[in-house]
Amino acid sequence: MLNKISVVILSCILSLTMVIPTSSAIAQSATPEDIYGAQYKPESVSVITQTGQILYQSNDDKVTDPASLTKMMTMYLTFDAIENGDIKASDKIQITPDYEKMSELPNLASVPLEAEQAYTIDQFLRQITLESSNAATLILGEKIVGSTSRFTNQMNDKAKKIGMEHTHFVNPTGADNQLLHQYAPEKYKKERKTQTTSQDMTILMQHLLKDHPEVLTYSSKTKDNQFDTELKTKNLSLKGQQFDLKGADGLKTGTSDEGYSLALTSKRDGLRLNEAILNVKPFPSNKAKNERHKIANKHINKQFDKYEYRKVLSEGEHEINDKTYHVKNDLYDVVPKKMKNVKLNVDKKGKAYVSYKRQFIKGTHAPKVDVSLKKEENKFTAFFKNLFR
């Protein structure tokens, strides 16, 4: 027979069993924000495909500080300058006493630079992607167009050109101009922080990766050594790092007093996903710094589980909407894995595409392929074919 103490203990256990949900029940209904706690919820999140298709958004139009994600635009313009022949990746820049002093400032000191040393453009790009060096970023901007003010002008011009409608850059680094002291761009000294949205950051990622895929040779690196200084990546979602995400090969981390940010790209089975996650809080907090990677990984894994990139239409003859077309090339597209039957349409310009409810960032659209009606399939035969169906 159970004594009174045993009965009380048993009753408590049964009560807890009834009111506490199982871990599997939590996992089925939980969102990344639920799992990692409301205190770590990012201010703004956007996930798109390499074709510009929007797969996930949360406060994607909230204007906030992207911190060092800004450096992606600096890299973009640097690659543009290399492509245009204005500079070469092998060009060397001599470190002046002023550059040395710049690199010693508390907020610019991630990579020490010594006067009389010379670094190549290639080395500066690695300093930016690995250690997020503000000094290297300012030096590159000055090298490319002569001053950081003119370079920042170019950044804003490029942003408008590619459709970043809610972005305004105030320097090449993403740091608060007050922290840059005398090295802040003269024209922008009265402005403090860059402003953008997660959707604008994914637009930047999409264009950067399309126009300059070589950026991945830099952003995928996890370490480097320059003048006996070891450089280590801050992107802990890269292969072999603490929060290794399958297929991750870049792009950039960011930190400000508003939180921890991450621009993350990953490719699996032909499908590339780009994510911008802005300002995981609180700051400062090593826990929050790590959580940005966990939350970002969770979002990307979820979309890889839902979507795939595959051939949806083969070259040759196919019937689309009761008409026979010659399809000139294979068509590949992003489709939900659960989609068994792919619906196709042909637009007024004679291009076939997959039709299902979805959104794209400005300036992008569903992949299309040229098609033509079979010669005998003119408008009269098509009319009678439909009439007697």
Q: Is the pLDDT of residue 9 over 90?
A: no
Per-residue pLDDT of 354-374, as tens digits, reads 999 999 998 899 999 999 998
- The residue-averaged pLDDT of 70-86 equals 98
- The residue-averaged pLDDT of 8-31 equals 37
Q: Which of helix, strand or coil describes residue 190? A: coil
Tell me the backbone φ, ψ of residue 195, rounded to 5 degrees: -125, 135
First-to-final CA distance of the chain: 81
CA distance 275 to 209: 13
Q: What amino acid occupies position 64?
A: T
CA distance 41 to 59: 11
CA distance 116 to 309: 50
Residue 115 tokens read as 């006067």
Q: Ramachandran region of residue 259, left (φ > 0), alpha (ψ -120 to 50) or beta?
A: left
Q: What amino acid occupies position 124?
A: F
User: What is the greatest pairwise CA distance in the chain?
Assistant: 92
DSSP state of 366: -
CA distance 143 to 216: 22
Residue 362's pLDDT is what?
87
pLDDT band at 378 (very low <50, low <70, confident <90, very high): low
Q: Give the distance from CA 278 to its chain's centroid.
A: 11
Per-residue pLDDT of 119-152, as tens digits, reads 999 999 999 999 999 999 999 999 999 999 999 9
Q: Is the pLDDT of residue 303 over 60?
A: yes
Q: Which of helix, strand or coil describes residue 130? A: helix
CA distances to 83, 138, 166, 222 from 119, rounded to whole Å, are 20, 14, 35, 19
For residue 251, is the peptide bond before it cis, meaning its omega torsion is within 30 degrees of 0?
A: yes
Strand ranges in 238-348 using DSSP code E only, listed in sequence order:
248-256, 259-268, 271-280, 307-313, 316-320, 323-327, 331-336, 344-346
Question: Which residues are bridge partners to 45 per DSSP?
Answer: 58, 277
User: How large a percentage of the chain has pLDDT more than 70?
Assistant: 86
The DSSP result for 65-125, as a single string, is --GGGGHHHHHHHHHHHHHTTSS-TT-EEEPPHHHHHHHHSTTTTTS---TT-EEEHHHHH
On the question of a common fold for 32-307 and 314-387, the answer reads: no
Q: Which CATH superfamily is domain 314-387 in?
A: Penicillin-binding protein 4, C-terminal domain (2.30.140.20)
Residue 22's pLDDT is what?
32
Q: Whole-prediction pTM value?
A: 0.85
Of the CATH numbers 3.30.300.180, 3.40.50.300, 3.40.50.150, 3.40.710.10, which one belongs to the domain with range 32-307?
3.40.710.10
Residue 98's pLDDT is what?
93
DSSP state of 40: G
Contact status, residue 155 vs residue 149, Cβ threshold 8 Å: no
Neighbours of 152 (CB within 10 A): 28
Tell me the backbone φ, ψ of residue 64, rounded to 5 degrees: -155, -175
pLDDT band at 1 (very low <50, low <70, confident <90, very high): very low
CA distance 66 to 166: 12
Q: Write down the residue that tokens 């508390």 correspond to.
A: 106
Q: Is the pLDDT of residue 37 over 50?
A: yes
**CA dihedral (29, 35, 40, 43) positive or negative:** negative
What torsion do the CA atoms of 22, 23, 26, 30 make, to the nearest 10 degrees?
180
Residue 204's pLDDT is what?
97
The full set of domain ranges for the chain reads 32-307, 314-387
